[in-house]
Structure 1
Amino acid sequence: MKYFCLSKSTIFLFLMFLFFSCTPKKNILYYQNIDEMASAKLNSYEIRIQPDDLLQINISAEDPKITAPFNLNPMNVIAEGNSQTQLNKSAINDYLVDADGYIDFPELGKLKLSGMTRSEVLALFKKKISAYIKNPIITVRLQNFKVAVHGEVNGPGIVDVASDRITLIEALTKSGDLKTTANRKNILVIREIDGVKSYFRVDVTNADFINSPYYYLAQNDVVYVEPKNRTLSPDLTLVTTLTSFAVSLLSFVLILTR
C-alpha cells in the first residue's frame, strides 16, 4: 500500500475549493439578468413626512428681522449678500411631527404635514410665508432619517441617512454587505404607512427589483436578511458546513492512500 503525505497548504487549498464550489453563483450574484432589461428611467422618488419625523425648517430673507417671528431661533439664519450663514449650529429650528401628523409653527399655527413630500412642504410654506414676506428663502430638512438592517449582514444596526433618499443596496452596503449565508432571493422589507405595516420580499439577484417600490427605502424601514436555511441557526449551519468539509477531506485522503 502506497501512502501520500499531504502538506498543510494542499489541504488549505482543497478546503477553499470546496468552500467556494459549495455556493452556486446564481445564489450570490446581484443583478443577474441586468443585460436582459431594457434601459428605463427610474421614477423620481421623494420621502413622505410621517409622525415622529423631526423637521428642520428655516425661514430667511434679505432682512433677518422680518423673518424672526417665523423662526424658533431668529438668529439661527441670517443673510449676507446672497449667501446664508449659520450663526449657531446648536440652535436649530426643529419641529417634531406629532402622532396626528401636525407641527405647531410660529405665526402659522398647526399645520398637517404627514403624507406630504418635502417638495410639497416647501410649496406649502412658500405660499403661506409669501403673504407676509416677499421672496422668502425656505429650507426643509428631515433630521432623523434612518433605517434598520439586521440578519445575515456583516454589520447589522441602524443606518443614518444624511440625504433625502437611500436605496436598499446602499443600506446593505453600509451594513457591511451580505454574508455568504444570506438568502439574497428573499430579503424582507417592513414599512409603516399611516399606521399600517406592509411587508415586501426582494430578490436582489434579479435586476428587476430596481423597479419595485422598495428599491428606495423610506424612513424607519426595517430590512431583515434571513439565512439560506431557516431551520438552522448560524452556529449550527457553520458546524454542518465544517462537518461536510471534514467528510469530504477524509474521503479525499482515503482515495489517495489506497
Structure 2
Amino acid sequence: MKGIKAVFNKLLLLLLITVLGASCVSREKIVYFQDLEQQKALMDSIQNTFKIQPNDLLNIVVSAYDLEAVRPFNLISETRPTTGYAGLASGTAQQQNYLTAEDGTIDFPVLGRIKVAGLSRTELSEMLVQRISEYVKDPIVTIRIVNFKVSVLGEVARPGTYNVEGERLTLPEALGLAGDMTIFGRRDNVLVIRDNGGSKEYKYLDFRDSDVLNSDFYYLQQNDVVYVEPNNAQIQSSSFNRNTSIYISVASLLLSVLVIIFR
C-alpha cells in the first residue's frame, strides 16, 4: 500500500511540475522593443518610403485661386441637370479617381499619359505642380491613396484584410488593427511580404528587438502581408485532439482522488 501511495505522490508531483513549467514564460520571449533606449537616436530618422504602385487608386485634386482655370485638370463626373421641385434644375458633380495601370501610368486631363509608379505622393505632387504651372498660376495639387490595404494573418486576434485611410501605416499599427498577436504568436519571427514592382520581397522581424523600428518594412506599403508564426507550443497542440485538455483535467482529478484514497 505504501508503495502504491508513493507512486501516486510522485505522479502528482510530476504533473504539478509540468503545469508550472509550462506556465512560466520569460520576459525576453514576450515583451516588444526590449532595448528601446539603445535605438532612441535612430528613431528620429525613420521615414515613410511609400511608393505608388500599379493598381493603386489615386484621388488627385488640382486647385488654385482661379478655380475655372484648373477645372480642365480635375477629373469630374457630372450628371445632367434635371427639373425638380418648383421647377429648379439640379445636378451632381463627383470627383473621380485615377486607377494606376499595370505599366504604372495614369491618363491625366490635358497632360495625357504620365508615369506615376515608383514615385512618392510628394514627388508626384511636385511633378504635377511643375507641369500644370505652364497653364495655371500657382496651382495646388493634393493626392490621396484611396484603396490602401494590408493583410494580417496568423496568430493575431482578428486576422483579415484591412483598408486604411491614407498611406501611412506602421507594422505595430497593422497588428493593432488585427487585435495584436495572441500569446501563441512568435514575437521573434514576424514575416512581412511585399510586392515590389512585380517581384516579391520579404523580411522576418524580431519584435523583441527595438531595431525593428529602423527596418525598411516598419512602414507598410500597399498590399503588404503580415504573417505571425505560431510558436512551438501552438504547433504541437494542433496535433492533439480538441478535447485533450479536458482529458488531462479529468485524469488529474482522478489521480488526486486516488492519492486521497490510498493516503
TM-score tier by shorter-chain length is 0.7 to 0.9
- The answer to whether residue 182 in structure 2 is matched with residue 195 in structure 1 is no
Aligned residues: 232
Residue matched to 1:150 = 153
Amino acid at match of 1:29: V
CA shift, 1:117, in A, is: 0.5
SS at match of 1:59: strand
- One-letter amino acid matched to 2:245: L
In 2, the alpha carbon distance for the partners of 1:102 and 1:129 equals 17
Q: TM-score with structure 2 length normalisation? A: 0.77
- CA-to-partner distance for each residue in 1:195-248, whole Å, 9 max, x for gaps? 000111011111111111111111110011111029837644685983796499
Q: Does 1:57 pair with 2:60? A: yes
Instruction: Determine helix, strand or coil for the equivalent of 1:208.
Output: helix
Partner residue of 1:137?
140
Structure 2 gaps, min length 5: 2-15, 79-90
One-letter code of the match for 1:191?
R
Is 1:181 the counterpart of 2:184 in the alignment?
Answer: yes
Alpha-carbon distance in structure 2 between the residues aligned to 1:206 and 1:255: 49
| In structure 2, C-alpha distance between the alignment counterparts of 1:20 and 1:90, rounded to whole Å | 63
- Call closer, same or farther: CA 1:140–1:247 in 2, change over 3 Å: same
CA RMSD of aligned residues (A): 3.2
State the one-letter code of the partner of 2:101.
Answer: D
Q: Tell me the SS of whatever aligns to 1:37.
A: helix
**In structure 2, what is the Cα distance between the partners aligned to 1:165 and 1:65?**
32
1:205 and 2:196 aligned: no
8 A Cα contact 2:157 2:182, kept in partner: yes
Instruction: Give the corresponding residue for 1:71.
Output: 74
Cα shift at 1:28 = 1.5
**3-state DSSP class of the match of 1:91?**
strand
1:100: how far off? 0.4
Structure 2 residue corresponding to 1:229, chosen from 232, 238, 246: 232
Q: Give the structure with the higher percent helix.
A: 2
CA deviation after TM superposition for structure 1 residue 69, in Å: 1.2
Between structure 1 and structure 2, the one with the greater Rg is 2
Once residues 50 and 240 of structure 2 are traced to their aligned partners in structure 1, the CA distance between those partners, rounded to angstroms, is: 39
**1:90/1:134 Cα in 2 relative to 1: closer, same or farther (>3 Å)?**
closer
TM-score by length of 1: 0.78
Aligned to 2:26: 24
Q: Match of 1:103?
A: 106
CA contact (8 A) 2:49 2:219 kept: no
1:122 maps to 2:125: yes
Counterpart CA distance in 1 for 2:246 and 2:26 is 19
Counterpart Cα distance in 1 of 2:238 and 2:92: 47
SS in 1 for 2:70: helix
Between the aligned residues of both structures, percent identity stands at 40
| Equivalent residue letter for 1:27 | K
Q: Tell me the secondary structure at the aligned position of residue 133 of structure 1.
A: coil
Consecutive unaligned residues in structure 1, runs of 5 or more: 2-13, 76-87
What is the identity, as a one-letter code, of the residue corresponding to 1:151? G
Corresponding residue for 1:33? 35
For residues 135 and 125 of structure 2, what CA distance do their matches in structure 1 show?
16
- Label 1:134 to 1:90 Cα distance change in 2 as closer, same or farther (>3 A): closer
Please give the alpha-carbon distance, in whole angstroms, between the structure 2 residues aligned to 1:132 and 1:160: 36
1:90–1:73 Cα change, 3 Å: closer
> What does residue 171 of structure 2 align with?
168
Q: Are the equivalent residues in 1 in contact too, given 2:46–2:213 (CA < 8 A)?
A: no
User: Does the 8 Å contact 2:191/2:202 carry over to 1?
Assistant: yes
